[in-house]
Amino acid sequence: MSTNPLLEMQSYGQSIWMDNLTREVIETGELNQLIENRGLRGLTSNPAIFEKAINNSDRYDQAIQSGHQQEKSSQEIYESLVFEDIRKACDIFRPIYEESNGLDGYVSIEVSPHLAHDIKGTIAEAIRFYEAIEKENVMIKVPGTLEGFAAIEQLISRGINVNVTLLFSVDNYRQAAWAYIRGLEARVKNNQPIDNIASVASFFLSRIDTKVDKRIEQRIRELGTESLNKSMRLRELKGDVAVANAKIAYQTFKEITASSRWKALEEKGAKFQRLLWASTSTKDPDYSDVKYVNELVGEHTINTLPPTTLEACADHCDLSPNRIETDVDEAYQLFESLKHPDIKINMDEVLDELLEEGIEKFVNPYDSLLESIENQAKQLTPS
């Protein structure tokens, strides 16, 4: 067995992807090294990642200046920059895509976060991105909103790989899974192949614990010191909700993939829509920095790690097969306990809030980046 936990992961049925993409990691060869030495099998990106990449590097300056001279809008310049990075990353991951028969080797790019509640706009932009990038191993990220689910079904039916992002609730994950299945069924009905299409369902983790932990602390303050037993009971829940939620989602995945509708598609070559653990960097310093890696190893899953968590896991992850299947009854009991009058945490409300906040966390850097590109273009272009 390898001494690098990241290289063990694949033998446990889980793939490691990285939640980061910059021109620097492509051009310096760092991405190739991560594939070779860290077992990297795929890559995701989002507007926040590109904002940091473009604003913190001069590697994009020439392209920004050229785009401005060609009188391109800031959005057109942005797309030209990220499309180039995505294409190059897709080429680097192409051998993994081919070796795994289309299971891994994907690079994800997100549609504009402004389209999160726009079905037609999401479909149109996803198709445009897919056709412009022209890489079989690109995945288009679509948020897990009510409108997003309708778009996902249509995109899968058109043969476009989809990464369903910003999933927080198990109910929303279930809708994403059935949208994928309906899209595949539409292709079967039209006598189109389904063995060359992939999708992942990105289930967010650390943001759940951050928000729930704050509510627990607020509830403890409301109870006061006279209710010490209740306070202690509440503190025992801190840091456990996100993993419990993921374990319940995994049981839902097993339930769906055991259904007759899925089995009929699987016989025709359909690939699992794998659960992808996202938001895996630990926000609370009191928790292990590899908390959302160690506890969520499972077959037919992906863990997408930011660079710092990737390196932390390479150094000190403690892995064992199918840990996602442990303490499942306790996970269900934990969610029941949140409804108790002493605790009173409405998880439906929490998860709905997280979805809308998640969209906003991509809208703000997206808008900021377009403004920054416009300002950079003016500064770089001689008057």
Contact 81, 109 (CB under 8 A): no
- What Å distances lie between residue 102 and 42, 106, 374, CA to CA? 11, 8, 38
Query: In sequence order, what are the residues at sequence separation of 6 or more whose Cβ sits closer than 8 angstroms to the Cβ of residue 226?
Result: none
For 162, how many CA atoms within 13 A lie in the half-sphere containing its CB? 33
Residue 304 Cα distances to 27, 277, 293, angstroms: 22, 6, 9
Element housing 201 (H / E): strand 199-204
Inter-CA distances, 136 with 93, 101, 284, 287, 293, Å: 11, 12, 38, 39, 29
Supply 323's token pair: 């840990």
Question: Which SS3 state, helix, strand or coil, does residue 200 take?
Answer: strand
CA–CA gap between residue 134 and residue 125 (Å, rounded): 14
AA identity, residue 322: N
Residue tagged active-site, from 135, 141, 211, 271: 141
Look at the alpha carbons of 91, 166, 9, 300 in this order and tell me if their dihedral is positive or negative. negative
Provide the 10 A C-beta neighbour count for residue 153: 23
Return the H-helix or E-strand segment holding 109: strand 107-110
Residue 169 DSSP code: S
Bridge partners, residue 291, by sequence: none
User: Are 279 and 204 in contact, with CB atoms under 8 Å apart?
Assistant: yes
Reading the block at residue 373, the tokens are 């590109």
Cβ-in-10-Å burial (0-12, 13-18, 19+) of 339 comes to exposed
Q: Which amino acid is at 44?
A: T
141 is catalytic: yes
Q: At what angle do helices 61-69 and 347-380 cross, to 10 degrees?
A: 70
Provide the annotated active-site residues. 141
